Amino acid sequence: MSDTAPPSLVDLRALRLDTALALIGQGTDQPAPLPHAAASPTAYLQTVVDSLCELSLRDPLSGLANRRHFHAALEREVDRVARSGEAALLMMLDIDHFKRVNDTYGHVAGDRVLQVVARTLASCVRPMDTLARYGGEEFAIVLPACQAEFGRAVAERIRRVVAATPIKLGPNTTLHVTLSIGGAFALQWIRSTTGLWTNRADSQLYRAKSEGRNRVCIEEQPSSTVSAEEKNLLFAPLYTPSGWGELPPMNSSDSAY
C-alpha cells in the first residue's frame, strides 16, 4: 500500500466566491487581473486570497495602510529595534479642528481633505516608512533607521508641506489645514511594546494640541523616559519598583572563567 496521499483537489465551482470577487472588483481602481480559473485553479485562488489580504490591509478612503497593517509594521519595528539597536521614530499626526471642516463644508468635503492630506503625507516619506490612516482624521508613520535630527527635520517638513498645500473643494473654495504632530523614538536595545511606544507618541501629540496646534512635539532623550513597565519587560525579575534586586548567585561552572 502506498503511503503517498493523493493531492487534494479543490473544486472551484463548489466555492462561494461571489462576494469576494465583488469586493475585489470594487476595492481598487486597478484590481490585479485574475488568472483563468479553468487553466490554473491554484493561481486563480491564490490571486483571490492575495487580493482579499490587500483589501483587509488598506483604508478605502485614503488608499493608505489601515490600522491593522500599521500595527503589524510597528510590531516588526519593535522587534528590529530590540535586535539591532537601530533608531526608529513613531509619529502620530492629527488634522487640527477637522470637525469645523465637516461642519462648514460638509462630510464629502471632509473626505476630500483627508484624501489630499493622505497624498501629501505619502509624498513626504521614504518607501521604507509605513504611513497609515490610524483612524478618523489621525495618521501615523513609523520611520525605521531614523536618527533624531533626521526625524525632527522630517516631522517639521511634513508640518510645513501640509500647511502650505491648497485643497480645492470647488471652483471658488480652497482650503488649508494644519497638523499637530507627536513623535517618540523607540528605546534602543529595549524590547518595548507597540502599545507603550504608541502611548509615548500620543502624549506628545496631546502636548502639540494643548500648546496651540500646528506644531511638532517630539519626546526628548528617550533613554531617560523608560517607564517602570518597560524596565520590567527588559530586566525582570532583577528590577523592581523599589530598585535593583539581588543578582542571582554564580554557579560553580561560571567561576572557571
Active site residues: 137
- Near ligand GTP in 211-230, by CB under 6 A: 213
* CB closer to ligand GTP, 62 vs 192: 62
Q: Which three cell numbers stand for residue 162?
A: 501640509
For ligand GTP, the binding residue among 70, 110, 117, 217 (CB under 6 A) is 110
State how far the Cα of 149 lies from the Cα of 157, in Å rounded to an integer: 12
Nearest distance from C-beta of residue 94 to ligand GTP, angstroms: 5
Q: Which three cell numbers stand for residue 136?
A: 478618523
Binding-site size for ligand GTP (CB under 6 A) equals: 16
Quick one: DSSP state of residue 251? P
State how far the Cα of 38 lies from the Cα of 22, in Å rounded to an integer: 19
Nearest distance from C-beta of residue 115 to ligand GTP, angstroms: 10
Asked whether the beta carbons of 178 and 161 are under 8 A apart, the reply is: no
State how far the Cα of 150 lies from the Cα of 155, in Å rounded to an integer: 9
Site string for ligand GTP, 162-201 (x = CB under 6 A): ----------------------------------------
- State the pairing for strand pair 138-143/243-244: unpaired
Q: Residue 229: count other Cβ atoms within 10 Å of its Cβ.
A: 13
For ligand GTP, the binding residue among 111, 145, 163, 165 (CB under 6 A) is 111
User: Radius of gyration over alpha carbons of the chain, in Å?
Assistant: 24
* CB closer to ligand GTP, 114 vs 146: 114
* CB closer to ligand GTP, 82 vs 117: 117
Q: Residue 19: in which H helix or E strand, if any? A: helix 18-27
Nearest distance from C-beta of residue 132 to ligand GTP, angstroms: 14
**Residue ranges in contact with ligand GTP by CB under 6 A:** 61, 94-99, 102, 107, 110-111, 114, 136-137, 209, 213
